[in-house]
Amino acid sequence: MSGDVAVVVVGAGPAGLSAARELRRLGVGSVLVADREAAAGGVPRHSAHTGYGLRDRHRVMTGPSYARALTGAARAAGAQVRPGTTVTGLAGGPDGSRLVTLTSAAGIETVRAAAVLLATGCRERPRAARLVPGDRPAGVMTTGELQQRVYLGGERLAGRALVIGAEHVSFSAALTLEHAGADVVALVTEHERQQSYAAFRLGAAIRWRIPVWTSCAVTRITGRGRLQGVEVTDGRTGAVRFVPCETAVFTGDWIPDHELARRAGLALDPGTRGPAVDTALATSVPGVFAAGNLVHAAETADIAALSGRHAARQIATFLTGGVLGRDRVPVLAEPPLRWISPNLIGSAAPPLGRFVLRSREFRRGARLEAWQDGRLLARSRPVRLIPERTAQLDAGWLDQVEQAGGPVRVVTGSRSGH
């Protein structure tokens, strides 16, 4: 055992760093932030375009400058930020404390913490997990890998490139490829429409002349050693064509980085596949909290940062003996909704006073409704549901939830209600 700290934060991305700063601001004595990467900052560190910081820092910054600002703010507030340190274990200790195993070049050490915040983010599902048949050549990667190679490694990528996906991050990948010298052939999506802002699609079409091929799937990858091309199948006509390219980037399709949470025995939510969390971002294990893209893969960095701040306030309450848990009522999202976060109703309002949701389908004019035991608790104004895009449900109805009642079901009604 190498010491005691009040809080260990796992992950020095926007969520973890913002939480650390807030914990120190609230007077929490010792806060240790561990990150396995060589430098703190999380994903924004290698995302060299602008678009970061609007909601939390009230200005728009590039990813690397945002990462530096958050790291500097956490350190200035008195948090100990330790890059190159992987958290490899999390277990229960004496008196309800948590034992956290840290592994770094200096060796393995165990720290006892009164509370732990997991902020390990999410990653894109790699090609292998997407079960696309074919060869395994070089040149096939995810956006995260692409951005690390281009912005951290300074790599150039000449030749033709295909982006698989058409959500926000897919357009970011296309931009990175163009910066790296590639010629982007198209964005390919199985959905009937792209899922990002119309402005992004227009920008890609006009500035870079990149089309979006909708209702199309990559069905085979070809190349011995180096990628030669991919087979694209049109879901409407069944037509198959071979698209020659040297680079293929799989984008989106996020999975929470839940490895540590799973090994620590935390209950996982079947929808988000991150740890199940209540509105205070408390997990199933007392004293262990989770925030950022680990609980809602994937939102923008400022939302992750604000979720970290929210968790920090709840942790500060927990540390001073405040009661966080009235009985927690599950919140279930029903099809076509895929998931809702937070997924349990606890003692606090959720981050930003709202739940975030994802839909499997496009729907216009849908109303989100919250029901408990046949009782309508809330009905939203009409919203537009787009797969891979966030929908929100204001949490103003929480005081109507019957603590002893059944789960709250969130469903989509039509324009008229049902």
Ligand X SMILES: Cc1cc2nc3c(=O)[nH]c(=O)nc-3n(C[C@H](O)[C@H](O)[C@H](O)COP(=O)(O)OP(=O)(O)OC[C@H]3O[C@@H](n4cnc5c(N)ncnc54)[C@H](O)[C@@H]3O)c2cc1C
87 versus 378: smaller Cβ distance to ligand X: 87
254 versus 371: smaller Cβ distance to ligand X: 254
Main-chain dihedrals φ then ψ at residue 38, nearest 5 degrees: -70, -20
Name the minimum Å distance from CB 16 to ligand X. 6
Is position 51 an interface residue for ligand X (rule: CB under 6 A)? yes
Using CB under 6 A, pick the residue from 148, 189, 283, 300 that binds ligand X: 300
Is position 9 an interface residue for ligand X (rule: CB under 6 A)? no
Is position 254 an interface residue for ligand X (rule: CB under 6 A)? no
Is position 44 an interface residue for ligand X (rule: CB under 6 A)? yes
Token pair, residue 215, equals 């209702």
The span from the CA of 112 to the CA of 2, in Å, is 8
Q: Are strands 107-118 and 247-250 parallel, antiparallel or unpaired?
A: unpaired
Using CB under 6 A, pick the residue from 23, 31, 43, 81 that binds ligand X: 43
Measured from the Cβ of residue 279, the count of other Cβ atoms closer than 10 Å reads 26
Positive or negative, the CA dihedral 240, 241, 245, 249 is negative
Name the minimum Å distance from CB 227 to ligand X. 20
50 versus 414: smaller Cβ distance to ligand X: 50
Name the minimum Å distance from CB 268 to ligand X. 15
Is position 16 an interface residue for ligand X (rule: CB under 6 A)? yes
- What are the Cα distances from residue 409, in Å, to 14, 222, 245, 297, 376? 31, 45, 46, 21, 10
Q: Which residues of 104-125 are buried (b: 16+ CB within 10 A; e: fewer)?
A: eeeeeeebbbbbbbbbbbbbbe
Binding mask 124-163 for ligand X (x = CB under 6 A): -------------------xx--x----------------
The span from the CA of 189 to the CA of 214, in Å, is 5
Using CB under 6 A, pick the residue from 223, 292, 346, 387 that binds ligand X: 292
Is position 22 an interface residue for ligand X (rule: CB under 6 A)? no
Is position 388 an interface residue for ligand X (rule: CB under 6 A)? no
